[in-house]
Amino acid sequence: MSDTETKAYTHWLYQAVGIGGRSLFRRLLAESTPAEIYDRARHDALTEMMSGKYAQKAGQIEAAAHSHDVKAEYEKLTARGISFVCCTEPQFPRRLADIPDPPGALYYVGRLPNDDEKALAVIGARECSEYGSSMAARFGSMLAEAGVQIISGMARGIDGIAQQAALAAGGYSLAVLGCGVDICYPSENRPLYENLITSGGILSEYPPGIEPRALLFPQRNRIISGLSDGVLVVEAKERSGTLITVDMALEQGREVYAVPGRVTDPLSRGCNRLIRQGAELTACPEELLQQMKPGCSVRVREGRKRMTLQGTPGRLYELLDFQPTAAWFLQQKYEEVWGTPITIPELDREMLQLCADGFAERISGSYYVRRG
């Protein structure tokens, strides 16, 4: 039997046992080949193999054998550009092999992560602040540029921002979905979804066509942490779904890193609590990179760009925050810190240039926030 035929029967069996049938799938693979199981199912002879708690699944698998065209269905899958890899194949990600409750198989488009390269999960709040957005982009970009693979869930907010930054830096990123790989969720991240297909990867243990459901995402999170050497939390509330991934990472023996934030900011309470509990405080990508890849130097394009900011623009940039700051307050701080007067029209003119150059953004009138 060819490798393609073996995959076709394995794919049939994986779908036949259904979502939540990982342990049964592994047990059946250990006892027989998928093709042999299919033949028994076609003859309604699976009960003898599936005694005890699995007996009720025998009828379900036999029905799937009678209604499923094994080769045709697998050809439909591959024709859509979707790949299938079983836990018994050498292409199956090594990091997932040893985690508790590993997936039995995976669907993916694009590329799987490289087992020999470092990988970091970057996760955090969906409704992130300007500070969180900036930090996610900075970590995603600089670490990816240094060869660290960025793993996340393509969610709105921190996850998607870090992944988009990684791809923009020419690095690799993989999204692990809580639905089929043929479904873009959330739909607003369609541009990122398409970029991942061409320049990174999208992966799920759920078959194509499975819609996103709340109960699927916690299970998805164990794969995000399992594919990574460590997990970086950028922003999280004290009670946050992000912390489910942290718990799974600790169970898997992965390192946990957290970006600190203001003690008065609800979006930083989760990170600050993780740091109190022993997570590694991580203030900049360079520090984290030295832990993950000792001796590796990172090209800080952002730093070189900032060096071009001199005189009034450079001084104003140093005073900017990730929270909106009024022009009158910037004027006051400028004169206090630098001892030089500046008029509001002059300040607005310089700030608009900083906005045009991507260093700042104007928010509702004469309020400005830092970018980058």
DSSP string, 193-259: HHHHHHHSEEEESSPTTPPP-GGGHHHHHHHHHHT-SEEEE----SS-THHHHHHHHHHTT-EEEE-
Q: Above 90 in pLDDT, residue 192?
A: yes
Segment 193-232, tens digit of pLDDT: 999 999 999 999 999 999 999 999 999 999 999 999 999 9
Burial of 322 per CB tally in 10 Å (0-12, 13-18, 19+): middle
56 and 124 co-located in one domain: no
Model pLDDT, residue 297: 61
275 and 307 co-located in one domain: no
| Sheet of 367-370, strands arranged across | 325-326, 367-370, 360-363
Question: Three-state DSSP class for 115?
Answer: coil
The structure tokens listed for 20 are 């939540």
Within 13 Å and on the Cβ side, how many CA atoms surround 42?
11
326 and 361 co-located in one domain: yes
Residue 330 lies in a domain: yes
170 and 287 co-located in one domain: yes
Residue 110 lies in a domain: no
182 and 70 co-located in one domain: no
Question: Three-state DSSP class for 105?
Answer: strand
Segment 228-239, tens digit of pLDDT: 999 999 999 888
Is residue 261 within 8 A of residue 131, CB to CB? The reply is yes
Residue 54 lies in a domain: yes
What's 308's domain CATH number? Answer: 1.10.10.10
Q: How many domains are there within the chain? A: 3
Segment 11-58, tens digit of pLDDT: 999 999 998 889 899 999 998 999 999 999 998 888 777 777 777 788
Cα-based distances in Å from 164 to 175, 249, 293, 298: 11, 23, 22, 19
What's 174's domain CATH number? Answer: 3.40.50.450
Model pLDDT, residue 308: 59
Residue numbers of the domain that contains 197: 119-299
Burial of 197 per CB tally in 10 Å (0-12, 13-18, 19+): middle
Confidence band, pLDDT 50/70/90 cuts, at residue 107: very high
261 and 358 co-located in one domain: no
Domain boundary pick from 280, 299, 318: 299
Q: What is the mean pLDDT of residues 333-343?
A: 92
- Terminal alpha carbon distance of the chain: 55
Q: What is the mean pLDDT of residues 58-79?
A: 92
Q: What is the mean pLDDT of residues 178-204?
A: 97
CA distance 28 to 34: 8
Segment 256-305, tens digit of pLDDT: 999 998 888 898 899 999 999 999 999 888 889 988 988 776 554 444 44
Is the Cα dihedral 14, 15, 16, 22 positive or negative? positive
153 and 126 co-located in one domain: yes
Phi (first) and psi of residue 37, to 5 degrees = -65, -40
223 and 309 co-located in one domain: no
Beta-bridged to residue 368, according to DSSP, are 325, 362
The structure tokens listed for 204 are 């799920």
